[in-house]
Amino acid sequence: MLQVITTNPTPPQVPPDFTSINAIGPRGQVNVSFSDVVKAIQSLYKWAQKENTWLNQYCTQVSQSVNTSISTFGVPLASASSIRVTEALHHVTGSAAISTINYPPNFAGGPIWLVADGMWTLTTGGNIAASANPNIGDVVVVVLDPVTKIWYPAAEGSGGSSSNFINVLVTTSTFNVPATGNYFIIANANANAVTINLPPATGSSHDIVVWAQDVTHLVAISPNGTDTINGVNSNVDFDLQYDAVRTHDALATTWAIW
């Protein structure tokens, strides 16, 4: 569960027989008997046993809390402007925009995993720092800063990208790449030509990677309108099977090949 340890085992106190013993007097003489020393040592031994038991209990509690926090799926959540998580893992359904993620009051911060069962999105305006547009089957990781109370989607790819993951898909026909998100597209032209139509270049720093799985027919990447790819307003054609091309939304109207 999303929780911190709120009920710790109470550690045992150092025995008074040991802490109060005054073995050395002001002139260096021994002020205690041998039996007093033995009694103090016995008390210290018993305290050490209790301390060991307490440490074992505490470590077991921490282990159980951590293991539960990363292995338990909560109930599926319906996407809405505000959702409430109770576990570290949730399936999220529906197609609504989520701007606020609520959580238990004792949650100390850290990551949660949201599995996209629908075409919902994360948006700013509540307590989420950046937007995300997952496809069905994607897993979105968001991390709570306990100081600011803001959720931060885990970012991948180039700086400036609003997507927190790479969308992977296979296409056997013409595909229009959405305007947001990073994509790894597997193009299979065994049956017919496949054209990957890029969205308008805006300087978003999104990356579109196309991998030609089969080039029996033409595989091509096409810029939008008057946009250019490496300075040229024309398609990029694939000649060899298993070739890959990474296009980067570098500037307005400009895609760059890396």
Q: Write the pLDDT tens digit of every residue in 183-204.
A: 889 899 999 999 999 999 999 8
Who contacts 125 (Cβ-Cβ below 8 Å, separation ≥6)?
A: 99
Pick the closest to residue 255 from 219, 191, 215, 209 (CA basis): 209
Q: What is the pLDDT of residue 164?
A: 47
* HEC sequence for 34-52: HHHHHHHHHHHHHHHHHHH
Domain ranges of the chain: 16-71, 77-153, 166-257
> pTM of the predicted model, to two decimals?
0.43
Tokens of 63: 């282990």
Q: So what's the pLDDT on residue 68?
A: 42
Q: Which fold has domain 166-257?
A: Jelly Rolls (2.60.120)
Give yes or no for residue 60 having a pLDDT over 80.
no
The span from the CA of 164 to the CA of 114, in Å, is 12
Mean pLDDT confidence for 127-152: 87
DSSP symbols for 125-161: SSSBSS-B-PPTT-EEEEEEETTTTEEEEPP-SSTT-
Two structure tokens written together for 149: 């109370």
